[in-house]
Amino acid sequence: MSHYSVHVVVEADDRHEAEGAVEDALDPYSEHREVKPYEEEISADEVTPALAYAKDQRHDEGRWKIKLDDETNVLAVMTEWVGRPVTRRADGTLVYETSWNPDGHWDWWVVGGRWANAFRGRNGQGTDLTRVGNIDLQGMRREAAQAAGRDFDAYTQVVAGLEVGPTWPEVRDRYPHERIEDARREYHADPWVQAAGKGLWLGDPHRYWCGSRRAEGRLHRTSRRGGRRPLRLASRR
């Protein structure tokens, strides 16, 4: 399960009308909204882990005899994997019929939620719903920049002298599925992972601090003197 915030701008004369407009704006993206049945294609990237999982879990029991050239078994595995009958087109593409909303991005939402009062009004008070002109955007940017600077200063202190460790996918891919707990132990035992993720920041420390790839080369930050100075982040190769 993941949680994220979405900013919705609508035209309305009062709060009640605005809440209704927000609901109308988000409805097309509901995962509960069914559409006319259509065929969904299954990519090769989905087939490979499904077959590997079935082989790890059931090959020894004799229920599945996985052979990549055995179409019947592949279709049976994928049918169980997606929970719907899977067929193969003439061009070899695996497909299944679904009425799931292809634009679906959420299964539940609420105004505010865990980000309650995230907007700072010009009166200094927090709010979830207000007119755009009443939001103190400059003040919010200033506070966010100050908080980011404090976080980054703390980060550089706790990881000083440590190399950026391997990412979770890199560690996970070295282990078979049944040894996933061993992979987790190795990943969380890394000194950089422990330091970068300990209590200060939520989520994947590699993604948070290094982006989608591991940090390589130079990462620049703005100094308090107004200039830009490089920070060297070492990475294993």
Residues 196 and 167 placed together within one structural domain of the fold = yes
Under the banding of pLDDT at 50, 70 and 90, the label for residue 21 is very high
Domain boundary among 134, 150, 178: 134
Q: Considering the domain boundaries, does residue 83 fall inside one? A: yes
**Between 161 and 45, residue with greater pLDDT:** 161
Residue range 176-186: mean pLDDT, rounded? 88
User: Is 1 a member of any domain?
Assistant: no
pLDDT confidence of residue 5: 86
Q: What is the pLDDT of residue 205?
A: 85
Residue 90 reports pLDDT greater than 80: yes
Q: Which of 134, 151, 184 is the last residue of a domain?
A: 134
Same-domain pairing of 203 and 184: yes
Question: Which structural domain range is residue 110 located in?
Answer: 15-32+103-134
| Same domain? 26 vs 110 | yes
pLDDT value of residue 80: 83
What's the domain count of the chain? 3
Reported as a single tens digit per residue, the pLDDT across 29-82 is 999 998 999 999 998 888 877 877 776 655 444 455 555 455 567 888 888 888
From 48, 80, 98, the end of a domain falls on: 98
Beta strands in the chain (DSSP E): 38-42, 86-88, 94-98, 119-120, 126-127, 218-222, 228-232
Whole-number percent of the chain with pLDDT over 90: 39
Please tell me which residue, 67 or 148, carries the higher pLDDT value.
Answer: 148
Are 27 and 126 members of one domain?
yes
Mean pLDDT for 124-134 is 92
Q: What is the pLDDT of residue 215?
A: 38
- The pLDDT of residue 145 is above 70: yes
Return d(Cα 98, Cα 82) in angstroms, integer. 10
Confidence (pLDDT) at 1: 61
In angstroms, the CA 201 to CA 204 distance is 9
* Residues 123 and 154 occupy one common structural domain: no
The residue assigned the tokens 């002298």 is 161
Query: Would residue 181 count as lying in a domain?
Result: yes
